[in-house]
Amino acid sequence: MAEIRCISPVDGEVFAARQAMPRAEAQERIRRSRIAGKSWAARPLAERCALVMKAIHQLATHQDEAAEEVTMMMGRPKAQFFEFNGCIERATYMAGIAETALAPIVAEDSDSFERRIEREPVGIVFIVAPWNYPYLTTINSLVPALIAGNSVIMKHAAQTLLAGERIVNAFEEAGFPEDVLQNVFFDHATTSDLIGEGHFGFVNFTGSVGGGQAMERAAAGTFTGVGTELGGKDPAYVMEDANLEAAVSALMDGAFFNAGQCCCGIERIYVHERLYDRFVEMALAEVKKLKLGNPLEEGTTIGPMANVRFASEVRDQIREAIADGARALVPEGYFAVDDGGAYLGPQILVDVTHDMRVMRDESFGPVVGIMKVSSDEEAIGLMNDSEFGLTASLWTEDADRAARIGRQIETGTVFMNRCDYLDPAVCWTGCKNTGRGTTLSVLGYQSLTRPKSFHLKKAL
């Protein structure tokens, strides 16, 4: 079988490797998962919640080891590893609403009839997790899937090969039942075949548009539910009444944190003409404060991109934009560590247009384009001029205006005066080529369960 390798962007060396599972072992894992899931679903909801929360807190005790692993696997500065805090926050919220989210809908409870709708688990939930936030993105589906009574099989990206093992180990340490949660190493062919054979009750995928299309093709005709969070090109609109200092600080962080490799990172900014010049000046000053370097070293604020291939795509977008008339504000060579490989210095582009790929295609790297606008209508048109729709960030002191504009934007989430954040109380969803599906919030339980109706006529 093929070997799955994680090449560290920190030093270009193989950091971890695992053998892809043979088909027979994969099918045996599925068999065991199905059996374990039945007994798990039979446990009381409160017991499932308690065990899941115990396991999540156990995972958090491995903060230091996990932080260094993630840094070596995908390049995020070790000092910026905060995923376990987010895991606890999201898990706590989802456990807290479980009783309400999974409660029966009672139509009648009389001497003559009981009529109600209950939620029951879908069976095995298959989570295909991305590399940019290998723990947080997993938790979004893992926690509600387990609490709802499903068994779960996880497959992590090659770039963060060890994350799934660490999650399973923590759950085992917390006394979690065997085989209810499993981590696997499948190649693409095995993954597609197993989905196509209808083994899973639900597939949750976070990744590229092409990857999401492959998941849907594999599931076609099986009636397996598929939830996807795919590409993004998230916009921000800074209105003339915005708090300029707050907008610059938050949006530059939203554009460049994790080397721009955030699902809801800011990739394009539209600034009202009254604030445009000052915004650009302040944004450049903010970016020049960043320190590109070895992500294991103290003081580094931006590390390498996760893969040389990803950095090459961003460089291509920047070069093409400059050739077409864009101006790069960060001088060449300003970030001396930029090596033409995985280490890529952050860049701001102005004089950009939507004819340029850097304003259309997902960059998923440390570059942002800034455009001047003169009205809300112009900004709305530009924000909607995208094949993607995950989040949009609006900066204004007028909440009514933000809500009015937000209703006209084709996106899954609208932020006002913040960006690049997931609130577990509201659903995480997208539209257009960002995919379809819902995680977190009360709605996050719906795709992980199915309704069952009871119409009981009592004896006369």
The per-residue pLDDT for range 166-224, each reduced to its tens digit, is 999 999 999 999 999 999 999 999 999 999 999 999 999 999 999 999 999 999 999 99
Task: Give me the pLDDT at residue 272, please.
Answer: 98
* Phi, psi dihedral angles at 345 (to 5 degrees): -70, 145
Report how far apart the first and last C-alpha atoms of the chain are (Å, whole number): 64
- Two tokens, residue 108: 């009648």
Nearest alpha carbon to residue 291 among 249, 336, 349, 332: 336
How far is Cα 117 from Cα 370, in angstroms, rounded to an integer? 50
User: Dmax over Cα atoms in the chain, in whole Å?
Assistant: 86
In the prediction, which pLDDT does 459 show?
Answer: 80
pTM here is: 0.97
- In 3D space, the residue among 344, 60, 362 whose CA is nearest the CA of residue 231 turns out to be 362
Q: Are the CB atoms for 122 and 448 separated by under 8 Å? A: yes
What is each CA distance from 85 to 82, 236, 323, 384, in whole angstroms? 6, 26, 43, 33
Alpha-helical regions (H) of 182-307: 188-196, 209-219, 244-256, 276-287
> How many C-beta neighbours within 10 Å does residue 43 have?
14
Fold of 234-431: Aldehyde Dehydrogenase; Chain A, domain 2 (3.40.309)
Return d(Cα 207, Cα 310) in angstroms, integer.
13
Chain centroid to Cα 70, Å, comes to 16
Q: What are phi and psi of 181, to 5 degrees?
A: -125, 125
pLDDT tens-digit profile of 303-354?
999 999 999 999 999 999 999 999 999 999 999 999 999 999 999 999 999 9
CA count, 13 A, side-chain hemisphere, 183: 22
Active site residues: 229, 263
Contact 232, 390 (CB under 8 A): yes
3-230+435-457 CATH fold? Aldehyde Dehydrogenase; Chain A, domain 1 (3.40.605)
Q: Where are the domains of the chain?
A: 3-230+435-457, 234-431
The pair phi, psi for residue 281, each rounded to 5°, is: -60, -45
CA dihedral (394, 399, 402, 407) in degrees, to 10, reads 130
Which residues of the chain carry a pLDDT beneath 50?
none
The answer to whether 53 and 42 have CB atoms below 8 angstroms apart is no
Spatial neighbors of 417 by CB under 8 A, at least 6 apart, are: 242, 243, 246, 247, 250, 394, 395, 396
Contact (CB, 8 A) for 76 and 8 = no
Residue 58 three-state SS = helix
Burial of residue 68, with CB atoms counted within 10 A of its CB: 0-12 exposed, 13-18 middle, 19 or more buried: middle
The secondary structure of residue 356, as a DSSP letter, is: S
Contact between residue 442 and residue 109 where contact means Cβ atoms under 8 Å apart: no
